[in-house]
Structure 1
């Protein structure tokens, strides 16, 4: 998988420098470009499905769908690729892995995605099924669920209280159909919805407190996020205004809205990582999140733009249990070539295979991972243990609190790790890790190569 990435103090000073829990740093994924967020709450976890813009995309270049998960809304764990165009071998294998959504029903998980087939019109909606949120998702129809039409993109699905499921989709017009209980077929006619003011694409359909909501990307270009409400799952829909106004910094947007642990959250995307690399606009998007409160009448306030809103960390991270190395609040990006000022190499990226699962790779010198709101407790940590592979001589992890130049609590030598692909544990003593802090894992070594692969870590008291 390709992606982008980006002196010691005393124990007393470390204990005094305890920050409050963090806020999400938008965009919340920096190891690759992500778009079209589709959050799903299941068994106390937020599973965030996204589309994926390739690193070299100028227009839309999208081949697969990614998954991230969180229980605190700030630290996100990379769960890898859950499906791709290859999941649907009858589809055109080009660049059309566009906006997905996943929903759970009766112990199964259903992924709806717009893809292309040969001919005109070419846009269809496909469905794949899995036994777990992280997949693997399998094509069960061998053909489209929704037959070809030019408007067939951006599916959104909701199961009402009476068990009836509805599938909406469309750009620039909005359509719906009633799904059967098997979730892979439908009954009745496809219905075109009366025009909703400012609607463009990217619908997100859901119900909350007996009100139905249709959020959407507002009229291009530039796009914002608008929404409409109804007393019925099929409308009529009444436009309620912007959740985020049209903004010149974005030619696109795409909402996903959930309630989680007593709060309400809007997901969308911005282009901040693209513009950190180049002044040119490319379709290289990055998912962001914001917490909000509904108004007493059920309407949604205007959140303006991602630079004015975010989401607080819901709970501290426990460092004394296994933490996947790909659990990240923020990671670095490093410039590769001074003669090419807008060409950047990954600071940290992730990869995966069937044997090892997802792990951190491309750990270059001075790149780092930030893990937010780590609770070391009043007794503090005594040891740090990491599982690594493919280490180079002289490589190490420097552990700092609160900042990249914050207090050093320990340094873990990695060095050579033997045979390629063989995971080994390394450990080092820790001093000064007391209370709640942001943890920075800085990777150190020589040369411009990746220093080691990094699978998981934990502290010991």
Structure 2
């Protein structure tokens, strides 16, 4: 009886913990949400904002002030390479040709594809799910694999280039190549799969602002490429924000394409564009037309390392992206 009683208490505890994790919260301020890699879709049709990020959940808001969630919106195939319980990172939402698309990084921790310099490389790749509605559910499409099985990729984002073709832009993980890459691959017209092979746009070592120390204490380039997002200024200049590190500080920079296409060459600004400790940004226009940047910051609370979303005002009216002050809805 004692064992049954203990087992009952354990099951109740597990149930309560699960319920807490799945509980939908109302009227939550943005700075009270714990979320990495926040991405916000301002949806004209529903007049709502939808925020995704790492974790496979979604938050909704009519005004950016108070949010409701988190809702589970990603549905994956347990028989696919992702396995039954994939980790989901850096989810992004795009409205394209009357459908909604969910670009995200999925990791199957049960599958190891390589070991590089003592680091075990898990099966990880950028992938796309689709839905007819902005709040999902988002489900797999035709192709089960978009990117090579033997290379870890992450942080896929979306862009239609000057040739009218859709592309996924993504990172080749530094843990495998020791010099992170930014790459592109062409997508099918309905985004249901990829075409051909990926092409490198630039490498982490091309950045003039990211830094780390080598084993002798000398400054070298930081190996990480993270969180790409494409945009155009009002003058038509093509830019990309992306994130790396300056020593131990998460930092965001920008590069501009000299040709005006994804093929570049990409010219990097000398200095970061956001204050220290802000990164993995994206740009969106509010339903009223104000350009904003969504990013996250890092902090330690009661010994727990957390990330919190923030919004910055941005100006795209000139030839460059200019980041302004913190935006408080």
TM-score of the superposition, structure 1-length normalised? Answer: 0.52
**Which is greater in Rg?**
1
Matches within 5 A, 1:374-453: none
What is the Cα deviation at residue 48 of structure 1? 1.8
In structure 2, what is the Cα distance between the partners aligned to 1:181 and 1:143? 16
In structure 2, what is the Cα distance between the partners aligned to 1:142 and 1:88? 15
**Equivalent pair of 1:115/1:124 in contact (CA under 8 Å):** yes
Task: Tell me the residue number matched to 2:183.
Answer: 175
Task: Tell me the residue number matched to 1:294.
Answer: 316
2:266 aligned to which of 237, 240, 248 = 237
In structure 1, what is the Cα distance between the partners aligned to 2:318 and 2:292? 16
User: Could you report, residue by residue, the CA deviation over 1:225-273 in whole angstroms, capped at 9, with x for unpaired residues?
Assistant: 11111122331111123121444xx7xx31111123232111111235x
User: Could you report, residue by residue, the CA deviation over 1:113-158 in whole angstroms, capped at 9, with x for unpaired residues?
Assistant: 1112423051122221101000011112362222224440111112
What is the Cα deviation at residue 79 of structure 1? 6.2
Task: Tell me the residue number matched to 1:48.
Answer: 51
What is the Cα deviation at residue 299 of structure 1? 3.1
- Structure with the higher fraction of residues in strand conformation: 2
Task: Tell me the residue number matched to 2:39.
Answer: 38
- Are 1:65 and 2:51 counterparts? no
- Are 1:120 and 2:120 counterparts? no
* Shift in CA distance, 226/145, structure 1 to aligned 2, threshold 3 Å: same
Matches within 5 A, 1:300-311: 300-301=322-323, 303=324, 309-311=325-327
More off after superposition, 146-155 vs 166-175: 146-155
In structure 1, what is the Cα distance between the partners aligned to 2:78 and 2:142? 9
Task: Tell me the residue number matched to 1:202.
Answer: 227
**Equivalent pair of 1:160/1:207 in contact (CA under 8 Å):** no
Higher relative contact order (CA 8 A, sep 6+): 1
In structure 2, what is the Cα distance between the partners aligned to 1:46 and 1:162? 30
TM-score of the superposition, structure 2-length normalised? Answer: 0.71
- Structure with the higher fraction of residues in helix conformation: 2
RMSD of aligned C-alpha atoms?
2.9
In structure 1, what is the Cα distance between the partners aligned to 2:149 and 2:85? 17
Q: Point out where structure 1 has 5 or more consecutive residues left out of the alignment.
A: 7-25, 53-63, 304-308, 314-461
* Shift in CA distance, 119/312, structure 1 to aligned 2, threshold 3 Å: closer
Task: Tell me the residue number matched to 1:156.
Answer: 157
* Shift in CA distance, 268/3, structure 1 to aligned 2, threshold 3 Å: farther
User: Could you report, residue by residue, the CA deviation over 1:314-345 in whole angstroms, capped at 9, with x for unpaired residues?
Assistant: xxxxxxxxxxxxxxxxxxxxxxxxxxxxxxxx
In structure 1, what is the Cα distance between the partners aligned to 2:153 and 2:50? 25
Matches within 5 A, 1:310-349: 310-313=326-329
* Shift in CA distance, 101/89, structure 1 to aligned 2, threshold 3 Å: farther
Q: Point out where structure 2 has 5 or more consecutive residues left out of the alignment.
A: 1-19, 115-122, 174-179, 211-223
User: Could you report, residue by residue, the CA deviation over 1:409-428 in whole angstroms, capped at 9, with x for unpaired residues?
Assistant: xxxxxxxxxxxxxxxxxxxx
Matches within 5 A, 1:347-366: none
In structure 1, what is the Cα distance between the partners aligned to 2:252 and 2:243? 5
In structure 1, what is the Cα distance between the partners aligned to 2:99 and 2:24? 33
**Equivalent pair of 2:315/2:321 in contact (CA under 8 Å):** no
User: Could you report, residue by residue, the CA deviation over 1:21-49 in whole angstroms, capped at 9, with x for unpaired residues?
Assistant: xxxxx97152x521111222321433222
In structure 2, what is the Cα distance between the partners aligned to 1:47 and 1:34? 13
**Equivalent pair of 1:110/1:129 in contact (CA under 8 Å):** yes
Task: Tell me the residue number matched to 1:270.
Answer: 297
**Equivalent pair of 1:103/1:158 in contact (CA under 8 Å):** no
Matches within 5 A, 1:219-258: 219=245, 221-230=248-257, 231-240=260-269, 241-247=271-277, 253-258=279-284
In structure 1, what is the Cα distance between the partners aligned to 2:193 and 2:199? 15
User: Could you report, residue by residue, the CA deviation over 1:53-102 in whole angstroms, capped at 9, with x for unpaired residues?
Assistant: xxxxxxxxxxx2323333x3323333612115x55542134562111222
Task: Tell me the residue number matched to 1:110.
Answer: 101
**Equivalent pair of 1:177/1:191 in contact (CA under 8 Å):** yes
In structure 2, what is the Cα distance between the partners aligned to 1:211 and 1:281? 41
**Equivalent pair of 1:110/1:130 in contact (CA under 8 Å):** yes
SS at match of 1:216: strand
